[in-house]
Structure 1
């Protein structure tokens, strides 16, 4: 298998708080890797060092062998890293198709010719992405009127617009109904395997994590305390202690 992301002993401190302490892991093509931990574990800090929002104090981040440590988010995105966010970020007054077209235009880095209206650019490509995420029939609707679960699917299509090799998903099912959560992550898993995309996601819904992740890494107070298959992580005594009463250790 091809290693898409290789993270080597990254660290980040804020004043006297060591938010991330020497964390290392890797992700293979087509793999779904869940990053979990209690509040304050360092998940968001770790996540933000991978796409350039934060620069590590130490360590290295490599994408397909290329050192991307500390590169700006836009440069990281252009190298093939897509991202979704806990709170959806779409243009509410624009149609579903237009939102995806904007992402495709940005990826192509194309300057629009004044005699050609923007909605004509990449319409077919946008429709193909929307079909893949089950949103083709709503292409003409404004994003501002969509149900939240549908917005999450549009956001996934936008994240796929730059043909990513790595997809970072921050709390992708937050605010969704249980059935929608399962459907979105199953769709993501299918796309990842079809296209060889490595997916790293954070998630508080342990049912989603154990059902969809191929592997799980667990952070606690900035340290990586466990890594392995869902079954191995569930049986880990230290993980059980960290999550006792939080629903991780049930059968």
Structure 2
């Protein structure tokens, strides 16, 4: 059974059709890249999946359960994690405290006021930092981290809730080439070891073609191609719409 099933998603803003009947699935242990030129409908699709936007029609199912239109907080409780194009961490906290905060929120332990927060989920947080290569930075304030390390910290926080589905919006944006590849390799390892389903958008084609299991290409709110990376790389319509000219008709991001 697929972890995520998207069927017939459609969304219009006034007279602009942002999505026009988009369908795809993502399985456990799979990285699916959602790509396309600016205005293709990627952000609209993402925001529908995690509950920020209600579709005009269509359904979203998570592990077989229909979740269409549920708010982001509810989606998070049901097993949807997310990272953002601009990483969101708490600069005033240490790296370890950031992950502890994510674990406390995921476990709804915020009511445990009689326990010092620094003692809650400390070992689990340390383990997540080890998995993401951030253990050596545990005591550093997040404000002192290099950008690539901030992205790793955000990833550790996102998987703290043990999600079924991880949504990653431009995960390597603003990173140097070597950092980009290192981060997506880390994501792939975690995807395999944890059985995560990962849906990500990305403009870096070396990241997409080097690490995605399958690719869905949007243009003008429609799927114009889908398949493995070799098929997408060779598809003449994809090359014309996105990889070649970088232009496509209509739509909204």
What residue in structure 2 maps to residue 187 of structure 1? 186
Distance of 1:200 and 1:160 partners within structure 2: 14
SS in 2 for 1:3: coil
Structure 2: how far apart are the matches of 1:245 and 1:53? 31
Question: Contact conserved, 1:172 with 1:201, CA < 8 A, in 2?
Answer: yes
TM-score by length of 1: 0.96
Aligned to 1:249: none
Name 1:160's counterpart in structure 2.
Answer: 159
Correspondence 1:97 to 2:93: no
1:72 matched to 2:46? The reply is no
Aligned counterparts of 2:210 and 2:141: Cα–Cα separation in 1: 33
- Structure 2 gap segments, 5+ residues each: 247-253
Write the distance in 2 (CA, Å) between the matches of 1:200 and 1:130: 22
CA distance in 2, matches of 1:219, 1:133: 31
Q: Deviations over 1:175-225 (max 9, x none)?
A: 111001001001100110111101010000001100010000000010011
TM-score, structure 2 length as denominator? 0.95
**Structure 2 match to 1:171:** 170
Report SS of the residue matched to 2:19: strand
Taking the aligned partners of 1:78 and 1:97, their CA distance within structure 2 comes to 22
Q: Which residue of 1 aligns with 2:251?
A: none
- Corresponding residue pairs, total: 245
For 2:110 and 2:228, the matched residues in 1 are separated by 46
Q: Would you say the 8 A contact 1:36–1:204 is kept in 2? A: yes
**Cα drift, residue 245 of structure 1:** 3.7
Shift of 1:109: 0.8
For residues 71-220 of structure 1, the aligned pairs below 5 Å read 71-220=70-219
**Superposition CA RMSD, Å:** 0.9
**What residue is the counterpart of 1:34 in the other structure?**
33
Contact 1:112 1:118 in 2 (8 A): no
Deviation by residue 1:46-80 (Cα, 9 ceiling, x = unmatched): 00000001111100000000011000001000111
Question: What's the CA shift string for 1:104-132, capped at 9, x where partnerless?
Answer: 11111123433321111111111111110
Secondary structure (helix, strand or coil) at the match of 2:3 reads strand
Please say which of residues 140-149 and 236-245 is displaced more in the overlay. 236-245
Q: Any unmatched runs of 5+ in structure 1?
A: 247-251
Q: Counterparts of 1:115 and 1:39 in 2: how far apart (Å)? A: 49
